[in-house]
Amino acid sequence: MTQTNDMLGQLAIALQKLVESESWNSDDELSVEIGGVAVTGTATHPDANPKWAKPYGTISYQSDAFIVIKNKSKNPVIPSQPNPELKQQHPYIKNHASTNS
């Protein structure tokens, strides 16, 4: 339990430093995700050895798993927009090779 508290304390200190540096605001929307995991994506035979064939959807945390903290307030998704000045250089000709009449 002490190690968990130590890890959480380090995480809290790191976030506080970001807020104090004015890089992040305490009102920012955060998303915390875990990377370095493996999810079983295939169904296994009912008689399969569970040591080697884990049940479908089982999440395994790898030894090098990591935590990702995303600041959604600083990373808005803006879709790309077409360039209105970009004009087609060649006329579009429909390929009639696949139709045999």
Q: Is the pTM of this model over 0.75?
A: no
Domain locations in the chain? 2-71
The SS3 assignment for 99 reads coil
What does the DSSP assignment read for 37-95? EEE--S---TTS-TTTSPPTT-EEEEEEEEEEEEETTT---------TT---SS-----
User: What does the pLDDT look like over 87-101, one tens digit per residue?
Assistant: 777 777 777 665 554
24 contacts 74 by C-beta, under 8 angstroms: yes
Q: What is the mean pLDDT of residues 9-32?
A: 87
